Amino acid sequence: MNRLFAVLSGISEASLYIHIPFCRVKCGYCSFFSVPSDQAGTEHYIEALGDILAQLPDFKVPTVYVGGGDPGILSFNQMKHLLIALERFSRSAGEFTIELNPEGITQELLKLFADYGISRISLGIQSFDEKLRSAIGRTGTVSAVDRSLELLKKTGQFAVNTDLITGIPGAGKDQSVRDIELLFSRFIPEHISLYELSLEETAQISSKLNELEEDTLSPAWEYLKDAGYRHYELSNFCLSGYESLHNSRYWKLKPYIGIGPSAVSNLPMGDVFLRSTFAKDIEQFIRYGMESVSEEIIDGHTCLNELIMVSLRTEEGIPVELIDRVFGSNAAQIVTDICRFWKAGGYMKGSALTEKGMLIMNRIIIDFFRQLDAAAPIYLREALDTVF
């Protein structure tokens, strides 16, 4: 039996991520694994996904997330086939999200989503400025965005997240605020993800890296908070009660299983995590299914580093008490001392980053890693599978 299956059989719950690795056209800045779609390819892919889902043991699934790529690329029948295959897990999930690009949304599809219990739609808008969209090689048009928002407003059945991008070279400091204003003039989403283009992504579309010096995040953060959104994670804002439950589980290292090329699973297994990753190869996935997975063991020390990295992104910050309980008082003391140092400069409050700290998050994370790595080995006091 595949080891991932074996571990999954022994745990009480895990979130489920399904990767649809197809897009209409590849956007210029994209680092996700996806290829331009063709109908025959998607057909075989959905069949292979269905086979794997049918083989999975029963376990409790608190959240389901279908992402990509662009799940909206699937034909109506392929989407229905996928939702039927997922029903066994999604039926009792507290949140069921699907990512879509605006051009893929139809009334018929929204009705299908409602019938199969999808509760949340994550819409990739990125920007309302046609020139900037073409500068980053983004497909689709603003009129397609408008049409999709109209349909979502009319349906009114889903919590909606909208993805926006900031830091586009040459766009100027106020680009994100302008985009948010244009969004609010059309639609008020429950959730907004505001992503800054990474250096690697920017390098793919422009050589003007010096323009990244400008802080394009703070004005947008202020604007969203004034509009009543909670800045609960570095790139995420929500109206009260609309946090992404699925992503929140990633930020707490809760168990999850990802299915599809490039998808990752992370499951606690005694004193370590079993990290499994599907090869970035659609052919292999279709032919070999779970056998196209590679495995890595994440030890306690690496787990602690990862916990710090993900929890620093959140408004709750680092769970120092949990670190004390699981990794011991020595580790907790080091973490507390580092927090105190950064607090003095206004970069942290308690064990969480302030917005000033978020702007230099990578530097702060490296400081935690360096000091924890230099300390004595971290010994686990509790097995990871009893905690996560």
Asked if 268 touches ligand SF4 (CB under 6 A), the answer is: no
Nearer to ligand SF4, 130 or 321 (CB): 130
Please check whether residue 294 is in contact with residue 279, taking contact to mean a CB–CB distance below 8 angstroms.
Answer: yes
Asked if 27 touches ligand SF4 (CB under 6 A), the answer is: yes
Structure tokens at 73: 């690329």
Nearer to ligand SF4, 122 or 216 (CB): 122
Asked if 32 touches ligand SF4 (CB under 6 A), the answer is: yes
Closest separation in Å from C-beta 104 to ligand SF4: 10
- CA–CA gap between residue 77 and residue 81 (Å, rounded): 6
Closest separation in Å from C-beta 99 to ligand SF4: 8
Closest separation in Å from C-beta 138 to ligand SF4: 7
Name the percent of the chain in helix, strand, coil, to the closest 5: 45, 20, 30
Q: In the chain, which residue ranges form alpha helices assigned H by DSSP?
A: 3-10, 39-55, 76-90, 107-115, 130-135, 142-155, 175-186, 199-205, 217-226, 245-250, 282-288, 300-311, 320-327, 329-344, 355-358, 361-374
Nearer to ligand SF4, 138 or 246 (CB): 138
Tell me the angle at which helices 361-374 and 300-311 cross, rounded to the nearest 10 degrees. 160
- CA–CA gap between residue 296 and residue 333 (Å, rounded): 29
Looking at residues 59 to 78 of the shown chain, list those that interact with ligand SF4 (rule: CB under 6 A). 68-70
DSSP β-ladder status, 95-100 and 63-68: parallel
Asked if 30 touches ligand SF4 (CB under 6 A), the answer is: yes
Among 101, 176, 236, 248, binds ligand SF4 (CB under 6 A): 101
The size of the interface with ligand SF4 (CB under 6 A), counted in residues, is 11
Using CB atoms within 10 Å of the CB of residue 67, give its burial: 0 to 12 exposed, 13 to 18 middle, 19+ buried.
buried
Among 8, 18, 19, 34, binds ligand SF4 (CB under 6 A): 34
Asked if 23 touches ligand SF4 (CB under 6 A), the answer is: yes
Closest separation in Å from C-beta 122 to ligand SF4: 11
Asked if 265 touches ligand SF4 (CB under 6 A), the answer is: no
Asked if 124 touches ligand SF4 (CB under 6 A), the answer is: yes
CA 353 to chain centre: 20
Asked if 26 touches ligand SF4 (CB under 6 A), the answer is: yes
Using CB under 6 A, list all residues that contact ligand SF4.
23, 26-27, 30, 32, 34, 68-70, 101, 124
